[in-house]
């Protein structure tokens, strides 16, 4: 009886029907005009940069961005300069229609959908943006060109969209650290906000790349979050030794079959330098390859 009443009342007004379709921005001039209009009216603009194939992790960033600014622009662009040769640039999952429906439901005022001609009109950028101090550890060891590509495109997206605020997920912790440092060092007029990592109900960190996983790999992938949760449990019970906490994660990863551990690290959350012995805060971060799919996850303690 109760369930029936609930079912009749709930779906009458789907949230999506309340939202206007976002404005589609294709060019730098479109973005500049959008920001100028809102700034002239005294409204602040938040940017949520993504590569599309949206999931609830991305949408949580939009929700956070709406709290931080008056209007939200989402960019959807699979940036070639952050992929090395042999990585998944060509097969990266795409779903423009699905993404636009999700961006609409989430309340984006605009979606920036540039082509590579718009972002790199000369075919490449002669100018580089890099933070060497943060780019020799964790993911940068196996992907040395990744963060310079990210730093370059995000700097361009900040300048193109004229955003006042930009929201990034703590899922990509090293990316967030790099962007914070670029923004500070180059005096970019953007407030960078980090938002919590969003997980599937069974603990797997949401990622557009999860779609690559076969059923067996999807099960094996749980070792990442399970290892991190085990360490988090120990931390909450009073364990403060970084090496023992890291070892707990490693042990769980080693028990899983088939995965190759790219790294399992205990680092300082700000400068990403490895920590050892007694600590009062740390970031445990892992990267594991399951077949061709590389998964990352982390947990911040303290």
> How many other CB atoms sit within 10 Å of the CB of residue 63?
15
Q: Which residue number, 38 or 171, has a Cβ lying nearer to ligand AMP? A: 171
Q: Which stretch binds ligand AMP (CB under 6 A): 3-11, 54-62, 247-255, 259-267?
A: 54-62
For position 119 contacting ligand AMP by CB under 6 A, the verdict is no
Q: Which of 265, 292, 289 is nearest to 276 (CA)?
A: 265
Greatest pairwise CA separation for the chain in angstroms: 66
* Percent helix, percent strand, percent coil in the chain, to nearest 5: 45, 20, 35
Q: Does 57 bind ligand AMP (CB under 6 A)?
A: yes
Give the contact letters, 21-50, x = binds to ligand AMP (CB under 6 A), - = no: -----------------------------x
| One residue of 75, 161, 207, 217 binding ligand AMP per CB under 6 A | 207
Q: Does 64 bind ligand AMP (CB under 6 A)?
A: no
Active site residues: 58
Minimum distance, C-beta of residue 238 to ligand AMP, in the bound complex (Å): 28
Task: Kindly tell me which of 183 and 208 has the beta carbon lying closer to ligand AMP.
Answer: 208
Question: Should residue 171 be labelled a site residue for ligand AMP when binding is judged by CB under 6 A?
Answer: yes
Q: According to the binding rule CB under 6 A, does residue 51 interact with ligand AMP?
A: yes
End-to-end CA distance of the chain: 46
Are 93 and 55 spatial neighbours (Cβ–Cβ below 8 Å)?
no
In this chain, which of 205, 231, 249, 267 binds ligand AMP, going by CB under 6 A? 205
> Given the structure tokens 């109760």, which residue do they identify?
2
286 binds ligand AMP (CB under 6 A): no
Instruction: Answer yes or no: are the C-beta atoms of 95 and 76 closer than 8 Å.
Output: no
> Looking at the DSSP assignment, which residues form a beta bridge with residue 264?
286
Question: Which CB, 83 or 168, lies closer to ligand AMP?
Answer: 168
Secondary structure string (H, E, C) spanning 38-56: HHHCCCCEEEEEECCCCCH
* Of 59, 197, 253, 275, the one binding ligand AMP by CB under 6 A: 197
Cα 294 from Cα 212, distance rounded (Å): 10
**Chain residues in the site for ligand AMP (CB under 6 A):** 50-51, 57-58, 60-61, 168-169, 171-172, 197-198, 205-208
């Amino acid at each position: 009886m109760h369930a029936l009443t609930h079912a009749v009342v709930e779906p009458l007004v789907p949230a999506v029907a309340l939202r206007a379709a976002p404005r589609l921005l294709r060019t730098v001039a479109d973005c500049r005009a959008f920001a100028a209009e809102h700034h002239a009216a005294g409204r602040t603009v938040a940017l949520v940069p993504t590569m599309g194939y949206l999931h609830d992790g991305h949408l949580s960033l939009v929700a956070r961005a709406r709290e931080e600014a008056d209007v939200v622009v989402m960019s959807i662009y699979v940036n070639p300069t952050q992929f090395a040769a042999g990585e998944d640039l060509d097969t990266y999952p795409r779903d423009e229609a699905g993404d636009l429906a999700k961006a609409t439901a989430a309340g984006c005022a605009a979606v920036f959908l540039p082509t590579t001609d718009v972002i790199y009109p000369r075919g490449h950028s002669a100018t580089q943006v890099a933070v060497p101090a943060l780019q020799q550890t964790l993911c940068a060891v196996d992907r040395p060109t990744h963060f310079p590509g990210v730093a370059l495109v995000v700097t361009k997206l900040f300048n193109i969209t004229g955003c006042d605020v930009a929201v990034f997920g703590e899922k990509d912790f090293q990316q967030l650290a790099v962007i914070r440092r670029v923004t500070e060092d180059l005096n970019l007029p953007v407030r960078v906000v980090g938002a919590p990592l969003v997980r599937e109900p069974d603990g797997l960190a949401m990622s557009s790349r999860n779609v690559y996983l076969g059923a067996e790999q999807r099960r094996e992938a749980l070792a990442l979050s399970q290892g991190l949760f085990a360490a988090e449990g120990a931390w909450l019970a009073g364990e403060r030794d970084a090496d023992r906490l890291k070892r707990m994660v490693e042990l769980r990863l080693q028990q899983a079959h088939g995965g190759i551990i790219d790294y399992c690290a205990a680092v300082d959350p700000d400068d990403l330098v490895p920590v050892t012995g007694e600590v009062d805060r740390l970031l445990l971060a892992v990267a594991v390859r399951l077949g061709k799919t590389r998964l990352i996850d982390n947990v911040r303690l303290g």
